[in-house]
């Protein structure tokens, strides 16, 4: 347990060194989150306020039109997420090459891949819809099956965005190449030895504990002003931590892809650190 935490912490420190040198990388997950909120509001608010959304999903299995609506929503949301993730990966890769990347640089890289990104978004939305249908139609067993296949899909596509950013391939090839890269390198031990999420689980737990303590202090003090102040500070802390985690994961996946492709590390990610991150059990 402690060895795993130590390896995860080493990876976070390596990713953090890149983020510290180029804090503008935080802008990518921030803009992505804002864009996702806009997309959700565009799809959900009109459908909900008109009453159509409740009617469309009143049947346990949903109407065909509801599935068309859901597929459109999934596709646009995935497109936004993948687009900005691609921009982050592109900018992070520039930094690892010794270049100072800006928001405009990353967005330019993502824009040059917009066709592939859209195709990959359709694939991701299709997988998401299939898993949702399995979950809805097969009851408890369906939830288990959907969970297993959903986890397998997430793991296999860990390097899909770096692939489509760095290589001139189509969306299907990006899907296949991502799975092959994991099989070629660390495969099954991705989650077991991997990381960044393990360390952030501790950080999130600590932050939640602090929020509870501060909230309790405000209640005991019977001060609405204190409660609002603590609430605003904790909200800011949660948002900032989420942005940092997203940025670190993007940086990490970029370095991992580059190592998987050429077997070499970078100034921030030495070869031994990357090898230890996904060490195959004997």
Q: What is the pLDDT of residues 249-265, one digit of tens each?
A: 888 888 878 877 776 66
Q: What predicted TM-score, i.e. pTM, was given to this entire model?
A: 0.83
Rg (CA), the chain: 21
Q: Please report the pLDDT score of residue 188 as a whole number.
A: 39
Asked, for residue 72, whether it belongs to a domain, the answer is yes
Domains identified in the chain, total number = 1
Asked, for residue 104, whether it belongs to a domain, the answer is yes
* Cβ partners under 8 Å of residue 162, min gap 6: 89, 93, 253, 254, 256, 257, 258
CA 175/CA 116 separation, integer angstroms: 11
Average predicted confidence (pLDDT) for the chain:
82
Asked, for residue 237, whether it belongs to a domain, the answer is yes
Point out the residues of the chain with pLDDT beneath 70: 1-11, 53, 55-62, 184-195, 263-267, 270-282
- Please check whether residue 271 is in contact with residue 264, taking contact to mean a CB–CB distance below 8 angstroms: yes
Asked, for residue 102, whether it belongs to a domain, the answer is yes
Asked, for residue 282, whether it belongs to a domain, the answer is no
Asked, for residue 196, whether it belongs to a domain, the answer is yes
Asked, for residue 201, whether it belongs to a domain, the answer is yes
* Cβ partners under 8 Å of residue 213, min gap 6: none
Asked, for residue 52, whether it belongs to a domain, the answer is yes
Domain holding 253, by residue range, is 2-277
């Amino acid at each position: 347990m402690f060895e795993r935490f130590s390896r995860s912490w080493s990876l976070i420190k390596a990713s953090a060194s890149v983020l510290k040198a180029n804090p503008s990388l935080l802008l990518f997950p921030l803009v992505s989150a804002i864009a996702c909120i806009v997309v959700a509001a565009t799809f959900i608010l009109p459908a909900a306020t008109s009453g159509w959304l409740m009617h469309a999903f009143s049947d346990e299995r949903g109407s065909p039109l509801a599935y068309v609506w859901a597929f459109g929503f999934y596709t646009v949301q995935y497109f936004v997420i993948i687009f900005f993730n691609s921009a982050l990966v592109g900018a992070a890769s520039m930094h690892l090459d010794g270049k100072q990347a800006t928001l405009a640089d990353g967005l330019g890289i993502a824009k040059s891949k917009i066709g592939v990104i859209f195709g990959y978004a359709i694939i991701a939305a299709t997988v998401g819809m299939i898993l949702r249908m399995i979950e809805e139609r097969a009851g408890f067993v369906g939830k288990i099956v959907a969970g297993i296949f959903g986890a397998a899909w997430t793991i296999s596509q860990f390097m899909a965005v770096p692939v489509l950013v760095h290589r001139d391939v189509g969306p299907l090839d990006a899907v296949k190449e991502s799975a092959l890269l994991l099989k070629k390198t660390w495969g099954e031990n991705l989650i077991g030895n991997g990381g960044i999420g393990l360390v952030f689980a501790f950080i999130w737990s600590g932050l939640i504990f602090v929020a509870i303590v501060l909230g309790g202090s405000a209640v005991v003090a019977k001060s609405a002003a204190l409660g609002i102040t603590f609430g605003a500070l904790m909200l800011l802390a949660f948002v900032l931590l989420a942005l940092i985690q997203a940025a670190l994961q993007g940086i990490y996946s970029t370095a991992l892809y580059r190592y998987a492709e050429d077997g070499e590390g970078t100034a921030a990610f030495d070869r031994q650190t990357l090898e230890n991150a996904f060490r195959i059990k004997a």
